[in-house]
Structure 1
Amino acid sequence: MSKAYNFDWQIEVSPRLLKGDYFDRWDEENATLEQNCLFRVDTYGFFIYWQSEGRDGQVIELSQVSDIRPGKAPTDPKIGADLMANALIYGRGNIDERTVTICSGIDFVQISHTNITGADPPTAKAWIEGLRKITHNHKANNICPTTILRKHWMKISFMLNVNQKIPVRSISKTFASGKTEKRIFEILKELGLPSGKNDEINPNDFTFEKFCDLYHKICPRTDIAVLFDELSGGKDYITTKQFVEWLNETQRDPRLNEILFPFYDTNSALRIIDRYELRANYRDRGHLSCDGLTRYLMSDENAPVFLDRLEVYHDMEQPLCHYLINSSHNTYLQGRQFGGRSSVEMYRQVLLAGCRCIELDCWDGKNDSEPIITHGKAMCSDINFKEVIFAIRDTAFVTSDYPVILSFENHCSRLQQYKLAHYCEEILGDLLLTKPLDTHPLEPGVPLPSPNLLKKKILIKNKRLKPEVEKHQLDLFLEGCDSEINNDNDLDSAANVEGEDGPTAYVDNLKLRDDDDDEAHPELNVDINDDGSRRTILGQIMKLKPSANLSREEEEAFYNGYQHKGATTNIHPLLSSRVNYTQPIKFPGFSKAEERNIHYHMSSFSENVALQHLRQNPIEFVNYNKRQLSRVYPKGGRVDSSNYMPQIFWNAGCQMVSLNFQTPDLPMQLNLGKFEYNGNCG
């Protein structure tokens, strides 16, 4: 297209961050302390970089920074004493108030924490505010190749050695992929730069132009050279006329509207030549060299993505079910589904990445203490529910203002369910949507509210009691008649839940799983001991052989031997009353769902079941998703936390296609790329 797009990707960096401040950098894991480091940020907002006396320069790439947090004092007494000793010289205020923690990493699991302690609390506050402003700049992930080259050059220029020089070894390491060091040293020599393995280069001599020359010699664009020869007919330039013809015939999308996106003409071609051709004599004659063509093709004008779609460009006033929602499966897990480690940090990381639907598998804590989050009886570690809610409060709306859905997989007793509801209300406060909007009552035929109406709101997805049952039990609860409702042995509890047909059997106080129950998690076949206690097949085996020693085949065999246990149908009325636009029900079938026309009802499907619906009833499935929400989750056999391709279900309009964020495989990469569009709003 001939209409140029001005890609304004930069966020202004605070003058204070550009100038820099002195901090003490410390790391408890490695028991290291680096004092009096001058920390700065470059003008593009690419790097946090620093150097201290007697040490090499270091950088943190801001595109890898997920969070900037007020820090805490170190628990290591030696580091704490050294920090306080330095504070006696120039510091004011306690360590907590003077410390900033920078969280960074290339995935959601391996997160590094860089702790820096400044001179006083105002310094720490200025850096927290300044860094938060320039973090999560997703546009900077889509800069053109030329700007990426500048970024690489800047990184090399910041990582100076103790002599304030650039080691040749650093340059060879940058271009190490597929190239021998010998060839790199030869090219450096051709460019008139020091080329010995242990040599150093003056930063003033290693200009960006020299770096680009080095890059093009090491990684020549032979494809562009071939194209240029075809266009020029063997000459060392192409004319304006040749350039216009090529732009219109090859570069312009013929589907574009000719009025909004007119054809290239001489003036538009000359504008490009003036901008990218460095030779003055060529510019004056309207000629373009091979170098000029290369610069043009590596600019923002030829971006591989639609740059204008990196802003919020969708109409956000449609019902919630008309949007794809960035969704996480088993959010708490850092690794495998079996014997994996759970972490509160995972909730922070996925929310900071723009995820808008997270999963909380809630179970009773030991000795009826605090509710926990864990993966059923799959030998995974557990985390405290309350800590997770604090993490959600702090990170839910850092990168996006659009609503967050808490997908509860509730296995708790009623007493612990009360704690779930209480902690959500107490910690989340006004962020929690506790009742439906006046404009969108919970009535058949009423569409879901739009994302704009639900901005900065958190919705709970949990089974809900039937309205009359909920009202009666809530009245009893508010009157203080807890004993009448806190009865976990209610045989007809399923009959009290919306969308449930009631249990077909009741055995040993275990709820049975429906075929299409809201996302059910695996629990092993349960036997009952003579004393009434439960034992599991896997539990007996694990006493003999710990999970760390299980082979992959054994893991899968155990996992496939699970008998799934769905979420409890014995719901506390307070928790039930806090559910509104995301009410999960047993899938009634497409015809019944259409007949009911209840937009706030939703169902969850494993990938296998969803694929079966897609094959057998594609039109009905699409129509269902036009009206109400659906959630797809990985099949139980994905013990390794691998992912399925989400595009299959996005094509059918499934909104919440949940993936294992801890696994950076191709489906997860596709998910991250998909949601970078529309302003990374989730």
Structure 2
Amino acid sequence: MTFEGFFRYMESKDCSVFDLTHCAVYQDMDQPLNNYFISSSHNTYLTGDQLVGKSDLDAYVSALRKGCRCLEIDCWDGSDQEPIVYHGYTLTSKILFKDVITTIEKHAFEVSAYPVVLSLENHCCQEQQEVMAQHLTSILGDKLLTAGLDQMTAEELPSPNKKVKVAQRLSDLVVYTRSVKFVSFSHSKENQSYFENTSMAEKKAHKLAKNSGADFVKHNQRFISRIYPRGARIISSNYNPQEFWNVGAQLVALNFQSGGTPMDLNDGRFQDNGGCGYTLKPAILMSSRAFDPGCSHSSLKPIYLHLKVIGGANLPAPKTKAQEVFVRVEICGIPADSIKTSTKSIKNLLNPHWDAEMNFTIKAPELCLLRFCVRNQTGLTSEFVAQYTLPFTSLKKGYRWVPLRNREGCSLDPASLYVHVWY
């Protein structure tokens, strides 16, 4: 191989740090729905903030094309007996419910063949609820799940493979995702049916994950939990989804319109398994043995990761006055595994060379995500330049090419990093 040929190989997908066999669906898709992490969106209709932002059908298209499999629709009474969708009691713009359903019907299965869950926040009167039901049945047709599927076990949710349908929570159309109020883990164990799920704001979920992690894990082995951002996030910011994946929550809903670390983690998590929006929860979360992500986990067998950040190529220019560029490497997992470390900062902004070696001890690698973030040092602070995030389980060993992305998760080709990975 000539030097030019070798160079072309080193910056090709064949040399990617991401395992290319994971670009197709490879996981077992015949397990119950509660055994999967499911890519989920909060207030999917919004393209901006929660108070005066625009509601747009394109927001649903964008989320679906990112592999999102759980969409939220806030429904309110509209004029002429046509329900509308917007963030109630705010100045966000309004769109028709029937147009939302038509958009979803058109784009639901463009990038993934697996089920879409429509999470309805229903504020409509009885008459307009009936209009909603009519639109759902007439527009979605045989894509709408209206009756239970034949199952081997009556007390078990179907698998994503069972039937390609759109699940819906409205009146008699409810089948597998009926929403009930969460009281306590013991109350759910005694009273909650397998086809019922609970939704809770991040603050309550955080408290439960911190104080009752093992019970939360057990709860999510049987039931589906949906976590959503607190109401105070009026600029549509996001929480760290990793905390709730650590306890096995399936529907960890984020504001897809807001770029940043939380959405990078979400994109990285669901890049796996062919980008289908469903990834199988690791065995550590499904075991009969108690697992609390907040504990020390001395019983777990750790993995030792050696990472060398060699250099970068064709990096995008920083937005502000350029000074020095560095790479921050972040391990995101259970608290014992979560750590950040950085290369030194250097002045070569286009094709920097760091040769920085890093070592990590990871106790629960099957839950971990690895994030490379290129940043520009601007005095006492630094600004985002580019990033790439992937699951540890999709990490390839050896000398590898890291294809960088922007804040919105789009490719910055040919911008890249070169690294050496061993574990």
Matched to 2:48, the amino acid is G
Question: How many aligned positions are there?
Answer: 277
In the alignment, does 2:54 pair up with 1:341? Answer: yes
Structure-1 residue corresponding to 2:157: 448
Paired residue secondary structure (2:117): strand
User: 1:470-493 CA distances to partner (integer Å, 9 max, x unpaired)?
Assistant: xxxxxxxxxxxxxxxxxxxxxxxx
Candidates 37, 54, 63, aligned match of 1:324 = 37
Calculate the TM-score normalised by the size of structure 2. Answer: 0.63
| 1:629–1:654 CA contact under 8 A, matched in 2 | yes
Distance 1:292 1:434, change over 3 A: closer
Distance 1:584 1:292, change over 3 A: same
Report deviation, 1:440: 6.4
Matched to 1:413, the amino acid is C
In the alignment, does 2:76 pair up with 1:350? Answer: no
- Output aligned runs, 1:495-574, within 5 Å: none
Candidates 625, 628, 632, aligned match of 2:220 = 625
Distance 1:609 1:440, change over 3 A: farther
Distance 1:635 1:294, change over 3 A: same
User: 1:70-121 CA distances to partner (integer Å, 9 max, x unpaired)?
Assistant: xxxxxxxxxxxxxxxxxxxxxxxxxxxxxxxxxxxxxxxxxxxxxxxxxxxx
Paired residue secondary structure (2:200): strand
User: 1:222-249 CA distances to partner (integer Å, 9 max, x unpaired)?
Assistant: xxxxxxxxxxxxxxxxxxxxxxxxxxxx
- Output aligned runs, 1:49-68, within 5 Å: none
Candidates 17, 31, 47, aligned match of 1:304 = 17
| 1:432–1:458 CA contact under 8 A, matched in 2 | yes
Distance 1:277 1:627, change over 3 A: same
Paired residue secondary structure (1:631): strand
Report deviation, 1:329: 0.4
- Output aligned runs, 1:85-234, within 5 Å: none
Paired residue secondary structure (1:360): strand
Distance 1:432 1:337, change over 3 A: same
Structure-2 residue corresponding to 1:360: 73
Structure-2 residue corresponding to 1:383: 95
Candidates 178, 182, 206, aligned match of 1:583 = 178
Report deviation, 1:400: 0.8
Between structures 1 and 2, the one with greater helix share: 1
| 2:37–2:249 CA contact under 8 A, matched in 1 | yes
Candidates 454, 460, 476, aligned match of 2:168 = 460
Structure-2 residue corresponding to 1:535: none
| 2:82–2:128 CA contact under 8 A, matched in 1 | yes
Report deviation, 1:296: 5.5
| 1-structure distance, mates of 2:212, 2:230 | 20
Structure-2 residue corresponding to 1:668: 263
User: 1:33-64 CA distances to partner (integer Å, 9 max, x unpaired)?
Assistant: xxxxxxxxxxxxxxxxxxxxxxxxxxxxxxxx
Report deviation, 1:438: 2.6
In the alignment, does 2:120 pair up with 1:411? Answer: no
Report deviation, 1:673: 2.2
Calculate the TM-score normalised by the size of structure 1. Answer: 0.39
Report deviation, 1:413: 0.4
Structure-1 residue corresponding to 2:254: 659
Identity %: 47
Report deviation, 1:625: 0.8
Candidates 414, 422, 432, aligned match of 2:134 = 422
Report deviation, 1:645: 1.3
| 1-structure distance, mates of 2:120, 2:163 | 19
Larger Rg, first or second structure (1 or 2): 1
| 1-structure distance, mates of 2:83, 2:244 | 33
User: 1:573-624 CA distances to partner (integer Å, 9 max, x unpaired)?
Assistant: xx41110100100113101212236211110111111100101110110111
Structure-2 residue corresponding to 1:649: 244
Matched to 1:416, the amino acid is Q
Report deviation, 1:322: 0.6
Paired residue secondary structure (1:324): strand
| 2:239–2:262 CA contact under 8 A, matched in 1 | yes
Distance 1:292 1:333, change over 3 A: closer
| 2-structure distance, mates of 1:661, 1:620 | 29
| 1:360–1:408 CA contact under 8 A, matched in 2 | yes
Matched to 2:58, the amino acid is E
Which ranges of structure 2 fall in alignment gaps of 5 or more residues? 278-423
| 2-structure distance, mates of 1:301, 1:363 | 50
Structure-2 residue corresponding to 1:480: none
| 2-structure distance, mates of 1:293, 1:401 | 37
| 2-structure distance, mates of 1:373, 1:622 | 34
| 2-structure distance, mates of 1:586, 1:597 | 10
| 1-structure distance, mates of 2:12, 2:145 | 45
Report deviation, 1:301: 5.1
| 2:81–2:131 CA contact under 8 A, matched in 1 | no
User: 1:167-203 CA distances to partner (integer Å, 9 max, x unpaired)?
Assistant: xxxxxxxxxxxxxxxxxxxxxxxxxxxxxxxxxxxxx
User: 1:298-341 CA distances to partner (integer Å, 9 max, x unpaired)?
Assistant: 45454211111111111000000111111110011110101111
Matched to 2:30, the amino acid is E
Q: Which has the higher contact order (CA 8 A, sep 6+)?
A: 2
Structure-1 residue corresponding to 2:81: 369
Report deviation, 1:347: 1.2
User: 1:490-548 CA distances to partner (integer Å, 9 max, x unpaired)?
Assistant: xxxxxxxxxxxxxxxxxxxxxxxxxxxxxxxxxxxxxxxxxxxxxxxxxxxxxxxxxxx
Matched to 1:666, the amino acid is T
Matched to 2:245, the amino acid is W
Structure-2 residue corresponding to 1:244: none
| 2-structure distance, mates of 1:297, 1:382 | 49
| 1:434–1:579 CA contact under 8 A, matched in 2 | yes
| 1-structure distance, mates of 2:111, 2:238 | 24
| 1:440–1:449 CA contact under 8 A, matched in 2 | no
| 2:178–2:197 CA contact under 8 A, matched in 1 | yes
Report deviation, 1:292: 7.4
